[in-house]
Homo-oligomer: A and B are copies of this chain.
Amino acid sequence: MIRVGVIGASGYAGGELVRYLIGHPGVQITYLASGTYAGKHLSAAYPSLLGQDLPLCEVYDADSAADKADLFFQAQGNGIGMKVAPALLQYGKKFIDVPADFRLKDLDEYAHYYKMEHTAPELLEEAVYGIPELRADEIAKARLIANCGCYATGAILALAPVAASGIGDMDSIIVDSKSGVSGAGRSKLDVSGLFCEVNEGFKAYAVAGHRHTAEIEQELGALAKKDIKVSFTPHLIPQNRGILTTAYVDTGASTDELAALYNDFYLDKPFVVILEKGQQPNTKNVFGTNYCHIAVTLDQRTGRAIITSAIDNMGKGAAGQAVQNMNLMCDFEQTTGLMLPAVYP
A246→B204 contact, CB < 8 A = yes
Contacts of A12 on B, CB cut-off 8 Å? Answer: 196, 345
For residue A279, CB closer than 8 A to chain B, the reply is yes
A47→B239 contact, CB < 8 A = no
**Which residue from chain B places its CB closest to the CB of A279 in the assembled complex?**
B47
**Which residue from chain B places its CB closest to the CB of A50 in the assembled complex?**
B273
B233→A246 contact, CB < 8 A = yes
Contacts of A63 on B, CB cut-off 8 Å? Answer: none
B174, B181, B284: the one contacting A48 at CB < 8 Å is: B284
The answer to whether A46 and B344 touch (CB under 8 A), given A195-B198, A299-B231, is yes
B238→A195 contact, CB < 8 A = yes
B46, B174, B200, B246: the one contacting A200 at CB < 8 Å is: B200
A302→B49 contact, CB < 8 A = no
Contacts of A19 on B, CB cut-off 8 Å? Answer: 340-341, 343-344
B204→A308 contact, CB < 8 A = yes
Contacts of A16 on B, CB cut-off 8 Å? Answer: 344
B301→A345 contact, CB < 8 A = no
A240→B199 contact, CB < 8 A = yes
For residue A252, CB closer than 8 A to chain B, the reply is no
A244→B181 contact, CB < 8 A = no
For residue A223, CB closer than 8 A to chain B, the reply is no
B204, B242, B344: the one contacting A280 at CB < 8 Å is: B204
Binding site for B on A (CB under 8 A): 12, 15-16, 19, 22-23, 46-52, 174, 176, 178, 180-182, 186, 189-191, 193-205, 207-208, 229-231, 233, 235, 237-242, 244, 246, 248, 270, 273, 275, 279-289, 291, 293, 295, 297-302, 304, 306, 308, 310, 339-345
A-B contacts, 19 listed (Cβ < 8 Å): A22-B340, A22-B341, A48-B289, A51-B273, A52-B339, A178-B202, A180-B202, A186-B196, A193-B193, A194-B195, A195-B195, A203-B280, A203-B282, A204-B246, A207-B299, A207-B308, A229-B302, A237-B237, A240-B345
